[in-house]
Chain A
Amino acid sequence: MVWEASMIESWASSLTLLKRGAESEVRLGDFMGMKAIYKLRVSKPYMDPALDSRLRAQRTLKEAKVLSVALARGVRVPRLYAVFPSLGLIVMEYVRGPTLKELVGSPGWESLAEDAGLQLGLLHSAGIVHGDSTTSNMVVSDGGVTLIDFGLADFSSELEDRAVDVHLLREAVTSTHPSAAGRFMEAFMRGYSRALGEGAAEEVSRRAREVEMRGRYVASRRSVWAEEGGEG
């Protein structure tokens, strides 16, 4: 049987919708007996169909690659179960728990902030940047932080891209928990330094300050869906 986008879309629409983003629907379902996230990149009626399907395939594949490389390098991210580039569908582990955003201020939150730093540092050492590194995209389960939502992630070891990740996090924490932001970033940088090394972490931190000084809002996000060799 040949799967077509319309078939998978109608099937996926029967699953519980967790989140509707700009380019995807995130649903909760079952994968071989395990609870799983079905992330479906929906088709855009305003695009030429050929361009639309090419983009969805490329981005789905990129996200899946990022997830599997990150996991192999010991970063806590959802496990990849399956990917269907031509359908724009990724099936991955459902990580259950509150977001770090919900836990700042509650007992033991500073060690969680440190773990967030460790995870983002490990991600960066793996040559990946997250592109949307906020405390809403960090889930706490089994006492540790798992990074989720790699829709804007990319392979990059550029200082600037890493700094933007740190800057976005600082911005998110400052706007949501102004009084805890200082201690949060201190704890975060302790964990980040453990993963990346004292010197490199210091350099990223300095550049993140520069990014902040440029006074731009959220425009400095980076996530390249560069040309790749099509879908697998």
Chain B
Amino acid sequence: MATAATRSSSSNSEVIVLGIESTAHTFGVGASRWTSAGPELLKDARRNYVPKQGGILPREVAQFFSQVAAEVVEEALSVNSLTPRDLDAIAVALGPGMGPQLRVGATVARAMAAALKVPLVPVNHAVAHLEVARYTTGLRDPVILYVSGGNTAVTTFVEGRYRVFGETLDMALGNLLDTFAREVKLGPPYVVNGNHVVDACAEGGEFIGWFPYVVKGQDVSYSGLLTAALRALRRGAKLKDVCYTLREVAFSAAVEVTERCLAHTGKRDVVLTGGVAANRVLNSKLDSMARLHGGTYRGVPAYYSGDNGAMISLAGLLAHLSGVHVEPERAFINQRWRLDEVEVPWYGKLL
């Protein structure tokens, strides 16, 4: 553990960055350390906003975030036996995400950086998901499928940045599954014992065909699929068959665009990251596809698949060491900050 004493004796080789995540429904704070052996994830703390009823209202989440922010920061420091003076920089996810929530994290980060007189590091939330996946899987130059409630993108590093080779043209994969589950009253909750309710329902289902499978180049589209699935139910199809077919079509399309990216770039390894990364069926499909190309597949560990502060601190650490900083008064949030707008100067060097 990095106590103040060990730090003073090795202050040249060791760097610690605190990272703050507040883009959606998780307020998370994590820490990462750089030693001569490379980057290292330390423990993190997090609080999830769970609505008492209905969906998520950004204002309510933001209010919850401001109530818990101080205790989450304190917890993240204490579980790592750190004091504020041990921090070399504060990193914060400035986007993409929802405005009210992002403002809470940005405010906390700006205040901490100013009070501690340490640099403030802007982190792209999506890039953080990618970096924590590369770090934890040990696959350093993979094609990455990033799927969560709000994201579905196929990306890989080319010439200085992560390039989006394919993405959803409308709904994200997680959103598709959740929306369908809600419409047919399988959820909420959408995930039970780590298994999505649509997955559970698909057990023993059969492929009923003719749902739209839309792959355009390396992009996917899911809204027509949702409509077709709901229509099939109204016409009397069995729910388990509809769940099975919906899942098959949606996952296959995502895996196919990942495969196209692999063939296009000539890379071999495949990584899955984001909130949907724990899905067993999607994991096995990607594994089978990667083997086809003689590569290795790994998914990000479940603990780091959802939103968390640890990944922000990791990306923040790498950015900090690469000299990526922002003046606190210019640290604006950006709700639509695309991952392919971010320079990644540390790729292949620090990680």
List chain A positions with a Cβ less than 8 A from chain B: 21-23, 44-48, 50-51, 54-55, 131, 152, 215-225, 227
Contacts and interface: CB of A to CB of B under 8 A. Distances in A.
A217 B260 contact: no
A227 B286 CA distance: 25
A24 B307 CA distance: 37
Nearest to B292: A45
B219 A219 contact: yes
Contacts of B256: 22-23, 44
Nearest to B163: A217
A131 B252 CA distance: 21
A176 to B, nearest CB: 14
Give the interface centre of A131, A218, A225 by most chain B CB atoms within 10 Å: A218
B265 to A, nearest CB: 10
A48 B165 CA distance: 25
B203 to A, nearest CB: 14
A215 B163 CA distance: 10
A219 B292 contact: no
B9 to A, nearest CB: 46
A217 B165 CA distance: 7
Given A219-B166, A221-B218, A46 B207 contact: no
Give the secondary structure class of A's interface.
Answer: loop
Given A21-B263, A46-B255, A47-B252, A221 B207 contact: no
B177 interface: no
Given A46-B255, A46-B288, A216-B340, A152 B217 contact: yes
Closest 4 CB pairs of A and B: A221-B217, A22-B263, A217-B163, A46-B285
Interface string B264-302: 100000000000000000001110110010000000000
A44 B210 CA distance: 18
B151 to A, nearest CB: 14
B340 A223 contact: no
Given A45-B288, A217-B165, A219-B167, A50 B217 contact: no
Given A46-B255, A221-B216, A51 B248 contact: yes
A50 B209 contact: yes
Nearest to A20: B263
B215 interface: yes
A223 B260 CA distance: 13
Interface in B221-255: 248-249, 252, 255
Interface residues of B, number: 35
A51 B216 contact: no
A46 B289 CA distance: 6
Contacts of B326: none
B346 interface: no
27 contacts: A22-B260, A22-B262, A23-B259, A44-B252, A44-B256, A45-B288, A46-B252, A46-B255, A46-B289, A51-B209, A51-B252, A152-B217, A215-B340, A217-B158, A217-B163, A217-B164, A217-B165, A217-B340, A218-B163, A218-B218, A219-B164, A219-B219, A221-B219, A223-B216, A224-B216, A225-B215, A227-B210
Nearest to B217: A221
Contacts of B328: none
B306 interface: no
B205 to A, nearest CB: 10
B217 A131 contact: yes
B337 interface: no
Contacts of A221: 216-219
Contacts of A227: 210, 212
A119 B219 CA distance: 27
Given A23-B259, A44-B252, 19 more contacts: A21-B263, A44-B256, A45-B292, A46-B252, A46-B255, A51-B207, A51-B209, A51-B213, A55-B213, A216-B340, A217-B340, A218-B217, A219-B165, A219-B166, A219-B218, A219-B219, A221-B217, A223-B217, A227-B212
Contacts of A55: 213
A54 B252 CA distance: 13
A131 to B, nearest CB: 6
Give the interface centre of A47, A51, A55, A131 by most chain B CB atoms within 10 Å: A47
A52 to B, nearest CB: 8
A215 B164 CA distance: 11
A144 to B, nearest CB: 27
Interface string B285-327: 1101100100000000000000000000000000000000000
A22 B259 contact: yes
A71 to B, nearest CB: 24
